[in-house]
């Protein structure tokens, strides 16, 4: 397969211009490439200052060269890194020198990580964690990605799969050698007790998946309220820039606007919505409909009430998590205690307290939570199928023991699909396409 036998190269650092650019090379021709480009292969894992030259002996640049021999490299193949000046002209000349060599080509998205997976250097969870680490924007996203990319989550799933394998082996031993002295009798009772415990552990683990998704994808906060309650003004104030148009005309906001905030290390997605009322204008009616959809999907609702003209729409589900915020504090003489918080976007009064309140609510949601939790829909799907297989095995004690053991095998396979221990070929293209070309 050409994808695995070609020697590949790509820019692995940021886009030029930059002070330094790193070009990564991986594959069977890496040693030969280094000899052509810099004259010889440097000592393993030691940086050497060399002049990089074309095949016509024309200098391209001076820089540091490192060589990592297989299998002790990121991809498990021979790997080289060239640290050169980060100009577009230098990179263009270097890439031109590389592409002239037969069997050498530029890598596609995620190909270095794909080779690391194919060569057993990373499993799928570690690959996804690496992708999340590269894209992490907040502290909690970084922590979640580090736990996954370092193999913490993989160890949990591997240990569960080992328990299922051991359970199957004990049951099959009892089936095959029921009269042998070296096979403990009534093994099934012990096995099924442990399987029930395992099922509870997986169920608790799956229950934390929503938290993992929120940390990775963002905590959704919807600003809702009647027209002219100050929703767009609050969005602009929290974003600290002009995101939404603010006027005194009711119904100015017609669509759902969204900004990303970093609050206490968590990614918070803040949504400004159309004022909730019975609209007659077709465009505003669509905006109100979208606002109601956003309310339904919100992790938290900030219900804004204009304290000068307090109107509270009845669209909000009373059981939903929400904070009632009184707005235009600067225009009222005396506040009341019917609001969780009172603010003024004109003076900034109450905004730091609102930001802290949001941070406290988000932090309480994840307080004491381990970072070894599922964070993607495919993890949740496989864990749910694993639980279903365990339920089928546990809940039918009168069914033939061989059939129940087959359910345990299916449960272990679903765990293996998460890490890539079993066939997941159809998933690989999707997963590795998330990477930049140099990774």
121 marked as part of a ligand binding site:
yes
81 marked as part of a ligand binding site:
yes
Question: Which two three-digit tokens encode residue 228?
Answer: 């002219």
Task: Determine the Cα–Cα distance for residues 110 and 417; give it in Å rounded to an integer.
Answer: 20
169 marked as part of a ligand binding site:
no
Q: Are 276 and 196 contacting, i.e. CB atoms less than 8 angstroms apart? A: no
273 marked as part of a ligand binding site:
yes
Task: Determine the Cα–Cα distance for residues 259 and 69; give it in Å rounded to an integer.
Answer: 45
Q: Which distant-in-sequence residues (6+ apart) come within 8 Å of 98 by Cβ?
A: 9, 25, 33, 104
Task: Determine the Cα–Cα distance for residues 239 and 262; give it in Å rounded to an integer.
Answer: 10
CB-based contacts of 406-413 (< 8 A; 24+ apart in sequence): 408/164, 408/167, 408/168, 408/171, 408/195, 409/164, 409/168, 410/385, 411/164, 411/386, 411/387, 412/161, 412/164, 412/165, 412/168
Q: Which residue shows structure tokens 């749910």?
A: 384
165 marked as part of a ligand binding site:
no
5 marked as part of a ligand binding site:
no
249 marked as part of a ligand binding site:
yes
Provide DSSP, 40-104.
Answer: SPPPBT--EEEEEE-TT--EEEEEEEEEE-TTSSSSSS-EEEEEEEE-HHHHHHHHHHHHTSTTE
Q: Are 139 and 118 contacting, i.e. CB atoms less than 8 angstroms apart? A: no
24 marked as part of a ligand binding site:
yes
328 marked as part of a ligand binding site:
no
39 marked as part of a ligand binding site:
no
Question: Which two three-digit tokens encode residue 53?
Answer: 């030259």
335 marked as part of a ligand binding site:
no
226 marked as part of a ligand binding site:
no
Alpha helix segments (H runs only) across 104-151 = 111-118, 124-135, 139-149
229 marked as part of a ligand binding site:
yes
14 marked as part of a ligand binding site:
no
317 marked as part of a ligand binding site:
no
Task: Determine the Cα–Cα distance for residues 172 and 124; give it in Å rounded to an integer.
Answer: 30
253 marked as part of a ligand binding site:
yes
Q: What is the dihedral of CA 64, 68, 73, 76, to 10 degrees?
A: 130
Enumerate the β-bridge partners of residue 272: 223, 257
Spatial CA neighbour of 219 closest among 301, 146, 291, 143: 301
Q: Are 123 and 427 contacting, i.e. CB atoms less than 8 angstroms apart? A: no
248 marked as part of a ligand binding site:
yes
Phi, psi for 55 (deg, rounded to 5):
-65, -20
Spatial CA neighbour of 109 closest among 12, 2, 14, 25: 12
Task: Determine the Cα–Cα distance for residues 403 and 400; give it in Å rounded to an integer.
Answer: 5
Q: b vs e for 28-39, b when ≥16 Cβ sit within 10 Å of the residue's Cβ?
A: ebbeebbebbbe
Residue ranges of the annotated binding site for Mg(2+) are 232, 253
As annotated, the binding site for GTP includes 228-233, 247-253, 272-275
Binding residues for (6S)-5-formyl-5,6,7,8-tetrahydrofolate: 24, 81, 121, 439
Binding site per annotation, positions for K(+): 228, 247, 249, 252
Binding-site residue positions: 24, 81, 121, 228-233, 247-253, 272-275, 439
């Amino acid at each position: 397969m050409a994808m695995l036998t070609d020697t590949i190269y790509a820019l692995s650092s940021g886009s030029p211009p930059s002070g330094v650019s790193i070009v990564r090379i991986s594959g069977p021709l890496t040693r030969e490439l280094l000899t052509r480009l810099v004259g010889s292969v440097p000592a393993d894992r030691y940086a050497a200052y060399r002049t990089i030259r074309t095949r016509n002996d024309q200098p391209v640049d001076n820089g540091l060269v490192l060589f990592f021999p297989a299998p002790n490299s990121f991809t498990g193949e021979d790997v080289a890194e060239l640290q050169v000046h980060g100009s577009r002209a230098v990179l263009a000349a270097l890439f031109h020198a590389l592409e002239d060599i037969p069997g050498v080509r530029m890598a596609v998205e995620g190909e270095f990580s794909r080779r690391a997976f194919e060569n057993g250097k990373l499993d799928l969870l570690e690959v996804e964690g690496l992708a999340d680490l590269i894209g992490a924007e907040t502290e909690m996203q970084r922590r979640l990605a580090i736990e996954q990319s370092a193999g913490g989550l993989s160890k949990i799933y591997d240990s569960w799969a080992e328990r299922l394998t051991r359970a199957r082996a004990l049951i099959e031993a009892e089936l095959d050698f029921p009269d042998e002295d070296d096979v403990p009798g009534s093994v099934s009772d012990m096995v099924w007790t442990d399987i029930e415990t395992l099922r509870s552990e997986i169920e608790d683990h799956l229950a934390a998946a929503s938290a993992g998704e929120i940390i990775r994808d963002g905590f959704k906060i919807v600003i809702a309220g009647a027209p002219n309650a100050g929703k767009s003004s609050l969005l602009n104030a929290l974003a600290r820039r002009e995101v939404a148009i603010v006027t005194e005309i009711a119904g100015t906001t017609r669509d759902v606007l969204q900004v990303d905030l970093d609050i206490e290390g968590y990614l918070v997605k803040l949504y400004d919505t159309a004022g909730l009322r019975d609209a007659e204008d077709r465009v505003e009616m669509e905006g109100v409909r979208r606002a109601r959809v956003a309310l339904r999907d919100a992790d938290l609702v900030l219900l804004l009430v204009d304290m000068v003209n307090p109107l509270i729409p009845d669209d909000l589900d009373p059981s939903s998590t929400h904070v009632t915020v009184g707005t235009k504090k600067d225009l009222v003489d005396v506040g009341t205690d019917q609001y969780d918080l009172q603010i003024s976007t004109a003076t900034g009064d109450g905004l730091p307290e609102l930001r802290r309140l949001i941070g406290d609510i988000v932090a309480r949601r994840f307080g004491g939570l381990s970072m070894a939790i599922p964070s993607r829909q495919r993890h949740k799907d496989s864990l749910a199928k694993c639980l279903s297989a365990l339920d089928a095995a546990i809940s039918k004690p009168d069914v033939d023991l061989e059939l129940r053991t087959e359910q345990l095998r299916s449960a272990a396979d679903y765990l293996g699909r998460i890490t890539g221990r079993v066939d997941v070929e159809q998933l690989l293209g999707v997963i590795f396409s998330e990477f930049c070309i140099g990774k």
